[in-house]
Amino acid sequence: MKGCEVNTRLLYRLTLVSGMLECLLFAGVVFGYASLVFVLKEDGYFSEMCAHDPNSNISLMETDCPSQDEQFSLVFTIASFLNNFLNLVNGFLFDRFGTMATRMLGICLYTTGTLLVAFSDAAFALMLFPALSCIAVGGILLLLTNMQVGNLFSAHRSTIITLYNGAFDSSSAVFLIIKVLHEQGVPLRPTFLAMSLCSIFHVARTFLLMPRTHIPYPLPQSYTYGVNCGKANTYNVEQIERMRETTVTLSQDSRGKDDSTRVDEAKLQKTQEERSFRSCVRSWFFLWHLLWLSIMQLRHYLFIGTLNSTLSRLARNDPSLVSRYTNAFAMTQLCGVLCAPWNGLILDRHKGKPRSLGETEQDADLRSSCLSLFLTSLQCLLFSVCASIPILPLQYLTFILQVLNRSFLYGGNAAFISITFPSSHFGKLYGLVMSLSAILSLLQYPLFALIKGPLHGDPFHVDIALTLLTLVVFIHPLHIFIHSKRRAQSRKNKADDSDSSEAKL
């Protein structure tokens, strides 16, 4: 029996580490698009547009061609839109069919995308549209199935979720490696074929280190999956939700809580079980969270999609200078995996500490999330301000703030949904919030067209407008703060009434 427990702990750790590698090396590579664009321009993708572009500078065709830049921006706009919008479908697939089916779909899409890039060239540049879209959607499916690994380590659940999202952000540096290899004479085809072959790793991990359905939360005793010894305890989310009320009743007798706290815990668990998907979507928590994510995501997507053209303008079309800053941006993306866990630590800082009288676990989680949401909002404001100032050396600071904020944003988004809503709806709610935010992210393309057209390549006015819009995101943490205060006051009043009743008796 001890051997089985040791094997189970080893299984959990292997799942955690292998999932980390999967997110770090594959899941979010599409967001390193700025590095890939530099390579694609050198290989002549969409270059035929420059010869007929009246606004292009023929002597600087490779770096100063608005029509070519617009086409590259459209590729990223569509890929990033589908990356988010299809999350609604992805979430339903994950909740309905489980981990294995969802991962196999993601692996097929990802492999298709890398093969399309491998066999594309300047004559078939339009293949980039389906290729980048498949890579983006396949990558987010891998992330979606990996985030449940946090359920295996309940005391560090939010930290692991944010860590995986940070690894997802850092994987954008993979395209920097491809750019460096390309500068050393290695063409795109062998590098993307190698990425396609790595699907063997994804398939092996799906069958050996991931569950067929879902990892439940809270975790049943001796829960295992994949290759295991003895008879596996393989509860899924649906089973654990049905058992939760019984578990709460039994645990009340073993804990030393006062009666009011135990009643609140039981009521919360029962409410969570009965809470419908519709009621979650119609809650103010979900609506403000959707607006919070959508605004900041739009700011990041426009920044990434226009980075190459912005650097070209600020560097006065000096290719070596543009390459240096593009490399610097890609290198900072590696730090996402280092930044994201700090947000998780902020969210988990209350774990293991005694809670206030009558405070439930969800109340404590919400109270802890308030600081995380506020810091993320503040980071986005500072990032947007720096990005609006047209000074080239200042962009180094912009890159740092961007990767810090992005790692906090997506990790905090997934963690907030996991702690606020029932785990049985996590996939659907995560997918819905990402899908709806994708609709707003479509504004990046008309904004890019506005910058290239009427604004003559100067994004200053658009940057200022987005910076002012960023101020709206502070409403979300303020709403959580007010809610937590009211809950605390309600608990205090209830405790005072209880004391008064006891005194009268």
Handedness of CA 249, 499, 357, 272 (dihedral sign): positive
- Mean pLDDT, range 28-43, rounded to an integer: 88
Residue 264, pLDDT > 50, answer no
Residue 14 has pLDDT above 80, yes or no: yes
- 464 vs 430, more confident: 464
Residue 243 lies inside a defined structural domain of this protein? no
Of residues 489 and 149, the one with the higher pLDDT is: 149
Residue 248 lies in a domain: no
Range of lowest pLDDT (259-263, 314-318, 341-345): 259-263
Per the domain annotation, does 235 fall within a domain?
no
Q: How far is CA 307 from the centre of its chain?
A: 20
Average pLDDT over residues 187-215: 93
Which has the minimum average pLDDT: 159-163, 240-244, 366-370?
Answer: 240-244
Domain assignment of residue 366, given as a range = 1-47+65-216+280-489
pLDDT of residue 287: 94
Report DSSP letters for 354-396, one per residue: PPPTT--HHHHHHHHHHHHHHHHHHHHHHHHHHHHS--GGGHH
- Flag whether pLDDT at 90 surpasses 90: no
Residue with the larger pLDDT of the pair 224 and 256? 224
pLDDT of residue 318: 87
> To 10 degrees, the CA torsion angle through 393, 471, 298, 109?
110
Average pLDDT over residues 107-115: 96
Tokens at 423, concatenated: 């785990």
Stretch 475-492: mean pLDDT:
86
Tell whether 75 is covered by a domain: yes
Phi, psi (rounded to 5 degrees) for 224: -145, 175
At residue 51, the pLDDT reads 62
Q: What is the mean pLDDT of the chain?
A: 82
Indicate if the pLDDT at residue 250 is higher than 50.
no
In SS3 terms, 41-59 reads as HHCCCCHHHCCCCCCCCHH
Cis peptide before 216 (omega within 30 of 0): no
**What pTM does this model have?**
0.72
| Selection from 420, 297, 417 nearest residue 365 by Cα | 420
Please tell me the total count of domains within the chain: 1
For residue 317, CA distances in Å to 205, 302, 308 come to 45, 20, 10
Examine residue 264 and state whether it is found in any structural domain, yes or no.
no
Tell me whether residue 504 is in a domain.
Answer: no
- Lowest-confidence pick of 268-272, 289-293, 480-484: 268-272
- Are 31 and 169 in contact by the 8 Å Cβ rule? The answer is yes
Residue 22, domain member (yes or no) = yes
Can you name the residues that pair with 223 across neighbouring β-strands?
A: 233
Q: Is residue 503 in a domain?
A: no
Could you give phi then psi for residue 163, rounded to 5 degrees?
-60, -45
Q: What is the pLDDT confidence band of residue 262, given thresholds at 50, 70 and 90?
A: very low
**Contact 298/84 with Cβ under 8 angstroms?**
no
pLDDT exceeds cutoff 50 at 263:
no
CATH of the domain at 348: 1.20.1250.20
Buried b (16+ CB within 10 A) or exposed e, 435-471: bbbbebbbbbbebbeebbeeeebebeebbeebbeebe
